[in-house]
Amino acid sequence: MDYKELVDVYNELDKTTKRLEKTEILSEFLKKIPKNDLQSIIYLVEGRIFPEWDERKIGFSSRSMIKAISVASGESESKVESLFNKKGDLGLVTEEVMTNKKQRTLRSKKLVVKDVIENTRKLAELEGKGTVNRKIGLVTELLGNSNAEEAKYIVKTVLENLRVGVSAGIVRDAIAKAFKVEVSKVEKAGDYIADYGEVAVLAKEKRLKGILLKPGRPFKLMLALPAENIEKAFKDLGETIQFEEKLDGFRMTVHYNGKEYNLFTRRLENVTKQFPDIIEIVKKHIKGKSYIIDCEAVGYDKETKKYLPFQNISQRIKRKHNIEETARKFPVELNVFDVIFYNGKNLMNNPLKERRELLEKIIKKEKRKIVLTKKLVTGNEKEVEKFFNQALEKGMEGLMVKNYEGSYKPGRYVKGWMKLKNVLEPLDCVIVGAEWGNGKRAGLLTSYRIAIKHGDEFEEIGKVSTGIKEKEANLTYWKLTQMLKPLIVKGSGKGKEVKVKPKIIIEVAYEEVQRSPTYSSGWALRFPRVLRLREDKSLRELSDLDLVKRIHNSQKKK
C-alpha cells in the first residue's frame, strides 16, 4: 500500500476530535487494506512500529533527526535547528524544509508502507561501529522518497510522537465495525494478546475464536480503582470481600509453558534475564505442568530483612549488565496473589475464591523467597479497620480490596478490584515541561510541569519541585535531568523553560485537589510533591481527569 494513502487518513483523523467520527474514518480505511499490510497499518495508526509487548525500541534522537532532515532537504543543520527552536516540532520543520527543498531531485521510488516499517525497525536492531550514520542513512532514505507531507509523518513516527487522537478504544471499535465483529470479542482478543495489529488480521479472517491465553505471551493485567472508604468498598463489591495487604513493589507475571519460564512487568516488558533469582525460586516452589501467576516483587534489605520502597529496586528492571551482582545486592521476595492459568486451563472466569484456594495448594511458601499476600476474607467493617491499621503500622501502602466471587478481567479498571489507602490517592502524572535551575542547581532541570490524561490528550495539572533530593538518593535532580534532556522538544525562548516529550511518569502526592483556571485540566494540586518514578507504568496507565474529579468529590464529603 502507498504510504500516501495512510497519510491522507492521518490528516482526516487530525481534523476531528469526535470519537465516533474517528472510528468511522478508521473503520472505512481498514476495509480497504490488503491483509499483508493490515497489521503494520494498525501499528502506524497507533504511532508505533512494534506491538505493545515488544521490547525493541526505535531509539532515534532529535539530534540525529536534525542531521537526517538536513541531508534529505539540502538545508543546513543550523537552519533546521533554528526552525525547530521556533516551532518545537520536527515534523512541522520537515514539512516546511521539504516543501522548499533545495535539491530538486526526482524521488527514486514511490514510498510504500512496507518500506516505512522495515527501515524504522532496522533503527532498533542496528548495533556496532558506525551505527549512528547507518541509522541516519535509513531515515534519510525514507525522507528522500517522500513528499513534504509524508516526510512530516515519517519524522513523527520515528521520534515516537505521532498523535492523531486515536486511542486503543477507537482502534478496537474501528476493527469491530470494519469486519463486523462484536466489540467485546475484539476487546477480549486485544487483552489476551496485547496486539491490535494481530487482532485486526484475525478479525478480518473471522478467526477471533481461536485466540487463547498462552503462557509465554504477555497480556493486559487486571487493574484496580481507588476505594473511597471501607463502607463504600462493601457497597461496590458485595457483602464478603477479600482484603490483602498492598505492597510497595512492582507487578510481575510469572509464565511457565512446560519448557520455558518468562517474567513480564505490568508494561508487558520481558524481564526474564534481569531476574534469574526469581526463576530459580519458582522452579523449586511452584508445582504445575504450566501456569501464569500474578504477583508483586518486593525488595528487602539483606541485613534487616525489612521491605524496601519500590524505588530501591526499580533499577533491576532496566539492568542489562552485572545482573547476578545486582540480584545479590537487591534481592526480592515474590508475593503471589492470583493464578490465571494452570495446567493448560484458563482460570480467568473462575471466582477469586477458587483461584486463591489453588494457590494455597501449588505454592511452597518460604519467607523472603515466595509467599502469598496476607489476606482477610470478611464482611465485618471493624475487622477490616483493624487489618487496615495493622497494614499501615507495618509500612504497607494500604489494602487491596477484591470481589471474593469475582472473575479476572484483564486490561480493565473495574469494580472487581479496588485499593484502599489512608491518604488521598497519589496521581501518576507525566512530565511535559521543566525549568532549568539557578545557583547550585544550574545545569539541572529542577521544576517539573506535570499532566494527567483526558481522553487521548495530556492536560496540565500543576508544577512540582519538592520530593527530589540533591544527591545520594534514588531519585535526584541529576537523574531526572539525564532522563529528560533527550526528550526536550521546545524552548520557551527565554532559555529557562523547556517542553519535553511526554514519557517520564512520576507518582505525585498532594494535600488537596483544587479547581484552577491556570492549568489546561481545570484543576491544580495543592502542595504537590514527588513520591517516586513510575518506570513500571505506561502512558496508558496515567491518572485521568475522571479520577481527579472523584478525588475532589471525596474531599468535599470528608
Q: Per residue in 254-284, pLDDT tens?
A: 999 999 999 999 889 899 999 999 999 999 9
* Selection from 409, 456, 453 nearest residue 26 by Cα: 456
- Which CATH number belongs to the domain containing residue 261 in this structure? 3.30.470.30
pLDDT (average), residues 184-211: 93
Q: For residues 142 and 7, state if they share a domain.
A: yes
Residues linked to residue 423 through DSSP beta bridges, in sequence order: none
For residue 114, pLDDT beyond 90: yes
pLDDT tens by residue, 296-354: 999 998 888 888 877 777 778 777 778 888 888 889 999 999 999 999 999 999 999 99
Task: Look at residues 158, 179, 208 and tell me which one is the last residue of a structural domain.
Answer: 158
Are 433 and 505 in the same domain? yes
Q: Please give the pLDDT value at position 163.
A: 81
Among residues 108, 139, 158, the one where a domain terminates is 158
Buried b (16+ CB within 10 A) or exposed e, 168-183: bebbbbbbbbbbebee
Q: How far apart are CA 14 and CA 37, in angstroms?
A: 22
pLDDT of 446 reads 87
The whole-number pLDDT of residue 129 equals 83
| Angle between helices 196-204 and 168-178 in degrees, nearest 10 | 10
Res. 440 pLDDT band, cuts 50 70 90: confident
pLDDT band at 556 (very low <50, low <70, confident <90, very high): low
Q: Which of 159, 129, 3 is nearest to 68 (CA)?
A: 159
Kindly state whether residue 364 falls inside one of the protein's structural domains: yes
Q: Sort 270 into a burial class: Cβ within 10 Å, 0-12 / 13-18 / 19+.
A: middle
Q: How many domains does the chain have?
A: 3
Q: List, for residues 45-103, the tens digit of each pLDDT value.
A: 998 999 988 888 898 988 899 999 999 999 999 999 888 877 778 999 999 999 877 55
Whether the predicted pLDDT of 222 surpasses 70: yes
DSSP, residue by residue, 76-129: -HHHHHHHHHHHS-HHHHHHHHHHT-SS-PPPSS--BHHHHHHHHHHHHH--ST
Q: Are residues 12 and 66 in the same domain?
A: yes
Q: CATH code at 471? A: 2.40.50.140
pLDDT for the residue numbered 488: 86
Percent of the chain whose pLDDT exceeds 90 = 62
At 494, the pLDDT band (50, 70, 90 cuts) reads: low
pLDDT (0 to 100) of residue 436:
86
Exposed, middle or buried, 3 (CB in 10 Å: 0-12/13-18/19+)? buried
Q: What is the CATH number of the domain that holds 110?
A: 1.10.3260.10
The pLDDT of residue 543 is: 93
Q: What is the pLDDT of residue 93?
A: 92
pLDDT at 471 over 80: no
Res 493 pLDDT > 60: no
Does a structural domain hold residue 51?
yes
Within-domain flag for 172: no
Distance CA 542, CA 275 (A): 26
Final residue in a domain of this structure, among 136, 158, 180: 158
pLDDT of residue 104: 47
Q: What are phi and psi of 315, to 5 degrees?
A: -65, -20
Look at the pTM and tell me if it is higher than 0.75: yes
Residue type, 539: L
Report yes or no on 476 lying in a domain: yes
CA–CA dist 395, 301 (Å, integer): 14
The pLDDT > 70 percentage for the chain reads 96
Residue 260: give the domain boundaries.
223-421
The verdict on 452 and 546 lying in the same domain is: yes
Average the pLDDT over 126-132 and give the result. 86
- For β-strands 370-372 and 332-342, DSSP reports them as parallel
**Nearest one of 422, 407, 424, 436 to 497, comparing CA atoms:** 436
Question: Are 276 and 375 in the same domain?
Answer: yes
Catalytic member of 67, 135, 220, 246: 246
Question: Do 435 and 364 share a structural domain?
Answer: no
210 within domain boundaries: no
Is the separation of the CB atoms in 459 and 451 below 8 Å?
yes
Q: How many CB atoms lie within 10 A of CB 485?
A: 12
Please, what is the average pLDDT of the chain?
A: 89
- The H or E element that residue 264 is part of is strand 261-265
361 and 454 inside one domain: no
Query: Do residues 433 and 524 both lie within one domain?
Result: yes
Residue 246 annotated as catalytic? yes
In a domain, 381, yes or no: yes
Task: Give CA–CA dist 343/345, Å, rounded.
Answer: 6
Q: What is the pLDDT of residue 461?
A: 96
Same domain, 292 and 336: yes
366 in a structural domain? yes
Residue 318 and residue 355 share a domain: yes
Q: With cut-offs at 50, 70 and 90, classify the pLDDT of residue 455.
A: confident
What pLDDT score was predicted for residue 386?
95
Query: What pLDDT, on the 0 to 100 scale, is given for residue 558?
Result: 47
Does residue 387 surpass a pLDDT of 70? yes
* Contact call for residues 542 and 429 (beta carbons, < 8 A): yes
417, part of any domain: yes
| Highest mean predicted confidence (pLDDT) among 119-133, 170-184, 206-220 | 170-184
Give the C-alpha separation, 27 to 176, whole Å.
8
Q: What is the pLDDT of residue 552?
A: 85
Verify that 416 and 458 share a domain, yes or no. Answer: no
Whether residue 321 sits in one domain with residue 284: yes
| Range in 208-212, 280-284, 375-379, 467-471 the model is least confident about | 467-471
What pLDDT is attached to residue 2?
93
